[in-house]
Structure formats: C-alpha cells, structure tokens
Amino acid sequence: MEQLGYFGIALLMFLDNVFPPIPSEIIMPSAGFTASQGHLLLVGVIIAGSVGSLLAAAVLYWIGRKISHQSIFSFIDRYGKYVFIKSTDVKKSLDCFEHYGHRIVFFGRMIPAVRSLISIPAGMSRMPFWKFMTYSGLGTIIWTSFLACVGYYFGNNTELMHQIFSQVSCVIIAIVIMIVVWFLYRRQQRKNKSYRT
C-alpha cells in the first residue's frame, strides 16, 4: 500500500466499484493502517478512496443513462460472468431503486456488491446527476472514512477489526430493512387513502 500511494488507492477503489470481488473492506483498512505507520496521511487516504469510488459511480451512472435497458441486460448476460455480475442482480437493483427511492443510493454505497450495481439503475431511471452524486458522495465519504479509521486505529488487531465489520454490517442491514419497511408502510397508507376517496 505504501508503494501504491494515493493514486493506487484511488485506482483500487475505482476497481472495487466496477469489479465487486475487489473489496473496499480490504483496501481502505490496509491504507488506513499504512497511514498509521506514517507512510501516508489519513485524510489523503480518505480523499483518494472517495475520489476513486465516486469516479467509478459516475461512469456506471452514465452507462446506465446512455445505453438502453436491453443493451445493458444483453451485455451483462454475455460478459457479466467475468466480473461476477448477473442480469438478475441488475434487475433486483433496478426494482429496489424504483420501489424505495433515491435514498437507497446513499445506503447502497456502504453495502458490498450493491455499491457496484446501484449506479446503473440510477442512470437508467434518469435520476438527476447532481442528486445521484450528492447521495453517493455522502455515503462514500462516510464509508471510506470509517474503513480507513478502522485500519488506522485497529490495524494491529485483526480479530477486533472483524468484530467491528460484522457489527457494522448488521447495523447497516438493519437500517436498510427499516427504510424498506417505512417505504412499504407509506405506500400502503397512500393506497388506503386512494381507496377511501
């Protein structure tokens, strides 16, 4: 990580978003640990990781926006196996995006695999680019900062790092479930009101 430097961190985080098997949960804590040894600056690590991740998100967004639905699914059917993405994954992400709104982009930036897929449905649904980048930026900065700080402060204790990641993953999943339940509840309320009128 010391040899890769900030550009290498940005490149790896870019690849993390377009090639899910390269996990940010390894890249950013490793970079944070390197910063704790004095070889990099923690703030530089966070900026580099965030920039790489957001560049990939922007590229995937414009792919989703400019290419037809059928073309995307045909491409994924043909080449998705090389990056471990299936057309059913894209379909699920699109359905999730359409059902639960733009805010799913914010939380999606913190969930493995989802962060690689959520950008394409955002583009396909014509979500305003500024809004997409705002939600993506907030989620990405929070997530990369958390991962880098875990590596910075707890890099020597791998067991503790695993415990932190497992607990945080549970919390994020719980938050997403609560948001989904809330959207379903609000949707049902609107349906009930329309029936009454």
Q: Looking at the predicted structure, is the pLDDT value of residue 172 above 70?
A: no
Count of structural domains within the chain: 1
Q: Looking at the predicted structure, is the pLDDT value of residue 38 above 80?
A: yes
Question: By C-alpha distance, which of 47, 30, 54, 48 is closest to 150?
Answer: 30
Band of pLDDT at residue 178, cut at 50, 70 and 90 = low
pLDDT per residue over 63-122, tens digit each? Answer: 888 877 777 777 777 776 666 667 777 677 677 666 666 777 887 787 766 777 788 888
Residue that the structure tokens 């707890």 belong to: 154
Tell me the pTM: 0.70
Q: Which string of DSSP letters, residue by residue, matches 95-129?
A: HHHHHH-TTHHHHHTTSTTHHHHTHHHHHHTT--H
Q: Domain of residue 121: give its range.
A: 5-196
